[in-house]
A and B are shown apart, each in its own frame.
Chain A
């Protein structure tokens, strides 16, 4: 300590050098997790999980009392909706059976019919307010790898960015660093879904690079496209709120409202299979 106090310049430049080297060496995407990260994971993940459980429990107790009246009304509405859905379901089952027969006729390989999924819990959130990413309590020991799709209660909410033995970092689709290839289900228009810092506080994101003559309009449903390098195609992402032309006159962009609520997510499902990657297609083809 006395030595450091005498050589403050040396201390300062040494610290800066260590940090800058670390930034340079870890800034490349897909850098392998370090020993320190793994070791810290064993300490912090159980703590985060415990505190998340306690806060979730207390929050649940409070909201039970606050929402009692709303729940009765909601229950009645859900019953009505349930009976309608049952009728719809019967019809769709019939349609599915028909679809199956026709598909077999066409000999289309139904690779994506059933997605392998694994459930995980959200245990922590990025404490800076510039980004929107989560830690989930499943990692490489459960077979997760980077770029796997993460689903919320109704659709895509993010991609796995980094995996460690006991936990993974998930970047949500409203995060500025996230990009997914998507398409409009009704019209078949392609686009690229980006998180946007301006839209993140409202829980929205934007779809860029839509052709200017595309027929996409508010209310259309957006799904992941087969062009995506990682995501299985046909997963619901959200609905279009509005479509606005870009300044260049060649493309336009749409504001998308994600189907799942991203700010209050607690349980997620991870599609533990990659799609679109050449190696992966080869292995699934065997």
Chain B
């Protein structure tokens, strides 16, 4: 329960910050996609199913407030969360290299998909230009925040897990 409340709050606060405060910190006209870092972190820390659920709701909030139609960001978040939860069993969660590289890959993939869905089929075929002017800066900016946001998520997750463990030992006779 605590986990659900914390994660919902995290999604809401992140969205509000992205749409207001972060706009003042735009570099080369782009802002960091912190929602994506949170989704990847959730997947890495909690496995594919929970990562996918977290990604779905983080994307949904974005859809409801930003997009023209509902579902695109929710679907991307869902898939990203699921995929980034795949190495859950095989890696140490204190290792910061894996989340960093996964965030870079996910950010580039997301931006490329936005380009394909929104612009490629409307006649904007100069792909390299968009890679240079939006996709690369956005990926770089997001990557630079990957480790701080991941460690924040890691700390929150550790707190919640400690709390859940204490609850379990209260009710289960061991």
Are A and B bound to each other? yes
CB distance from A127 to the nearest CB of B (A): 4
Of the listed stretches B30-38, B92-100, B144-152, B159-167, chain A binds B30-38
| Most central of B15, B31, B64, B118 by chain A CB within 10 Å | B64
What separation, in Å, do the CA atoms of A169 and B19 have in the docked complex? 13
Asked if B155 is at the interface of the complex by the 8 Å CB criterion, the answer is no
Q: Could you name 28 residue pairs across A and B whose Cβ atoms are closer than 8 Å?
A: A4-B49, A12-B82, A15-B78, A19-B71, A19-B78, A22-B71, A22-B74, A23-B71, A23-B72, A23-B75, A36-B64, A40-B64, A44-B12, A44-B15, A47-B12, A48-B19, A48-B20, A51-B16, A51-B17, A51-B20, A59-B24, A125-B20, A129-B30, A130-B134, A131-B66, A133-B66, A169-B65, A176-B119
CB distance B22 to A20 under 8 Å?
no
| Most central of B12, B33, B71, B74 by chain A CB within 10 Å | B71
CB distance from B125 to the nearest CB of A (A): 12
Asked if A27 is at the interface of the complex by the 8 Å CB criterion, the answer is yes
What separation, in Å, do the CA atoms of A196 and B74 have in the docked complex? 26
CB distance A55 to B21 under 8 Å?
yes
Decide: A20 near B71, CB < 8 A? Known: A37-B64, A48-B20, A127-B62: yes
CB distance B12 to A128 under 8 Å?
no
Q: Which residue of A has the minimal Cβ distance to B133?
A: A201
CB distance B29 to A127 under 8 Å?
no
What separation, in Å, do the CA atoms of A123 and B23 have in the docked complex? 11
Asked if A224 is at the interface of the complex by the 8 Å CB criterion, the answer is no
Q: How large is the interface on B (under 10, 10 to 19, 20 to 34, 35 or more residues)?
A: 35 or more
CB distance from B75 to the nearest CB of A (A): 4
CB distance B134 to A44 under 8 Å?
no
Across the interface, which residues of A come within 8 angstroms of B61, CB to CB? 40, 44
Asked if A52 is at the interface of the complex by the 8 Å CB criterion, the answer is yes
A-side residues, CB < 8 A to B, are 1, 4-5, 8, 11-12, 15-16, 18-23, 26-27, 29, 31, 34, 36-37, 40, 43-44, 47-48, 51-52, 55, 59, 123-131, 133, 135, 161, 169, 176-177, 197-198, 201
Q: Which of A11, A127, A161 contacts B19 (CB 8 A)?
A: A127
Q: Which of A27, A47, A59, A135 contacts B69 (CB 8 A)?
A: A27
Across the interface, which residues of A come within 8 angstroms of B129, CB to CB? 198
What separation, in Å, do the CA atoms of A124 and B48 have in the docked complex? 32
Asked if B10 is at the interface of the complex by the 8 Å CB criterion, the answer is no
Decide: A129 near B138, CB < 8 A? Known: A11-B49, A161-B68, A197-B119: yes
What 1/0 mask marks residues of chain B from 101 to 127 whose CB sits below 8 Å from any chain A CB? 000000000000011001100101000
CB distance from B55 to the nearest CB of A (A): 9
Q: Which residue of B has the minimal Cβ distance to A1?
A: B49
CB distance A15 to B56 under 8 Å?
yes
Across the interface, which residues of B come within 8 angstroms of A123, CB to CB? 20
CB distance B16 to A130 under 8 Å?
no
CB distance A19 to B118 under 8 Å?
no
Decide: A43 near B12, CB < 8 A? Known: A23-B71, A51-B20: yes
CB distance from B124 to the nearest CB of A (A): 6
Across the interface, which residues of B come within 8 angstroms of A201, CB to CB? 29, 133
Across the interface, which residues of A come within 8 angstroms of B20, CB to CB? 48, 51-52, 55, 123-125
- In addition to A123-B20, A176-B118, 15 A-B residue pairs with Cβ atoms within 8 Å of each other are A19-B72, A22-B63, A26-B70, A27-B68, A40-B64, A47-B12, A55-B20, A126-B19, A127-B33, A128-B33, A129-B30, A129-B31, A129-B138, A161-B68, A198-B124
CB distance B119 to A130 under 8 Å?
yes
CB distance from B59 to the nearest CB of A (A): 8
Interface residues of B in 130-150 (CB under 8 A from A): 130, 133-134, 138
CB distance B115 to A130 under 8 Å?
yes
Asked if B45 is at the interface of the complex by the 8 Å CB criterion, the answer is no
Across the interface, which residues of A come within 8 angstroms of B133, CB to CB? 201
